[in-house]
Amino acid sequence: MKKFENILDFATESGTEIPKPLAKKPFRIKGKGSRRGEEALIYTIPSHTGSKPYEKGVTVSEFALAQAELTRSGEFTRAWFKENLPSCAKEGACNFTTIGGVFELLGLARYEGRGRYVSV
Digit-coded pLDDT (tens) for 52-90? 889 999 999 999 999 999 999 999 999 999 999 999 999
Question: What residue numbers bound the domain in which 66 lies?
Answer: 7-119
Q: Domain for residue 2, yes or no?
A: no
Q: Domain for residue 58, yes or no?
A: yes
Q: Domain for residue 15, yes or no?
A: yes
Do 46 and 57 contact (CB within 8 A), yes or no? Answer: no
Q: Domain for residue 81, yes or no?
A: yes
Over residues 83-106, mean pLDDT: 94
Q: Domain for residue 1, yes or no?
A: no
Sign of CA dihedral 55, 71, 76, 107: positive
Total domains in the chain come to 1
Sequence-distant (6+) residues with CB within 8 A of 97 are 18, 20, 21, 23
